[in-house]
Each structure stands twice: as C-alpha cells, then as structure tokens.
Structure 1
C-alpha cells in the first residue's frame, strides 16, 4: 500500500487524521508522517488498515480516479 493510497482511504471515509487514528489504533503523528511521505507504512499498520477496509471496492477505486484527476 502506498502512502497515497493510505491517505485516499482516509479521505474516502471522510475522516480527519485524528478520527482515522482512533479508528485504526495508529498514532495521529504516524498518520501524518505516512501521508506526507516522511515515513513508510509498517506492515503492522498496513495490516490494520487492510483488515478494516477493502481497497478493491469499486466505489473506492472510482474515488481514487477522481481524486488523482484533481491532483494531476
């Protein structure tokens, strides 16, 4: 999972970094560092996200496409 995908999951869920942090049981500072590319997502934290969120969801995939079009 890329840092970009990690952030897109949070945005798709409509959560702040704090809310996402609480739901995923990951420190808020870690969320910020991963999203900005300052650090990589650990396997442990990646597993937490994957257990709670399906990145193969067609609605999420479409959301990612729309968000990437806005950026680029």
Structure 2
C-alpha cells in the first residue's frame, strides 16, 4: 500500500504544486529567509500554516515576481 502511495506522489508534476516550504522558496527564487519572511509580513506573498510548517503559495510568489521591474542594463563597469 505504501509503495503505491509513494509512486503516486512521485508522479506529481511541478506545475501541480501549489505550496512550498520556506527553504524551497528561498532556494528556487534565490532569496534569503529573512527577506522571505519580510515579504510574508508585508503581504507581498501569501502562505498557510500546517502544524509548525509555513507553506508559501507558489501563485503568490509568481504574482509578486511579475510586479518587479525588468532589468535594464546600465553603463558597463
């Protein structure tokens, strides 16, 4: 029974994932834990609590990054 459930979990597509933990958020988006919690506290991104875990909404992360300005190259160093 466990093997079947585990194999079903492995078949989840990345596009189906709705929430990720803080560590994964920081790793995937290249931000630090402190900045991640700042974004949560000011409402820029959303999260849910599951026991002691904080799970960040992937949709809210994507929305936040869409609001950031595009990089424009300046003068070369």
Question: What TM-score, normalized by structure 1, do the two folds share?
Answer: 0.31
Which structure has more relative contact order (CA 8 Å, sep 6+)? It is 1
Q: Which has the higher strand share?
A: 2
Bigger helix fraction = 1
TM value normalised by structure 2 = 0.30
